[in-house]
Amino acid sequence: MTTLISKMWWAIVIRGLCALIFGILTFVWPQATIGALILLFGVYALVDGVFTLVAAFSHSESGSMRWLLVLEGMVSIAAGVLTFFWPQVTGLVLLYFIASWAILTGIFEVIAAIRLRKEITGELFLALSGIASIIFGVLLFLYPGAGALAVITIIGIYAIVFGILLLVLGLRLRSHAQQIAPKTA
């Protein structure tokens, strides 16, 4: 596992750079960030709904599976349409979705760091990025009324911290990969 992760150090560095750039852009264009997140969700929900309906009707079989797909497609399309009519409500739901995502990914990162601690040094940065994710998610749940701009600021700070931590982890993994390269060659 360590060898595989070490060989993929560049992917972690790219992920860190993307997070860092995203974080910086949230400060440069906060209103655009809010609108883009909501619009992106609305478009995604519409497209997802349409493709779910296509999947439901592309099979000649009928039954409960088809109706579940039809129901799922209709719900997705409705969510997409509602996003464009009531973006504020969508923004709050999206906030809770982002909070849940941050907490879950943070937990998985901490678990991965615990498992890696016996194999590599520098796993502390993975654990710290996981803890940062968890704290970020909890703060979003605790203070949803703080306003969309405040949330964007938190998202920006989180993305910058997360990006820096991933960059450090990626560079440490690169060093580790260089150390083990002669052993595996």
pLDDT in tens, 64-118: 667 878 898 898 898 889 888 888 787 788 778 878 888 998 898 888 888 877 7
Mean pLDDT of all residues belonging to the chain = 82
Q: Which two tokens stand for residue 44?
A: 């995604």
Task: Look at residue 149 in the predicted model and tell me its pLDDT.
Answer: 73
Q: Is the pTM of this model over 0.75?
A: no
174 and 122 Cβ atoms separated by less than 8 Å: no
Q: Which structural domain, as residue segments, surrounds residue 111?
A: 2-184
Quote the Cα angle for 12-163-103, to 5°.
Answer: 95
Q: Which two tokens stand for residue 121?
A: 């040094």
Domain tally, the chain: 1
Tokens 């960030």 — which residue? 33
The string over 138-170, giving b where at least 16 C-beta atoms fall within 10 Å of a residue's C-beta and e elsewhere, is ebbeeeeeeebeebbbbbbebbbbbbbbbbbbb
pLDDT in tens, 107-149: 988 888 888 777 777 678 888 988 998 998 898 888 876 656 7
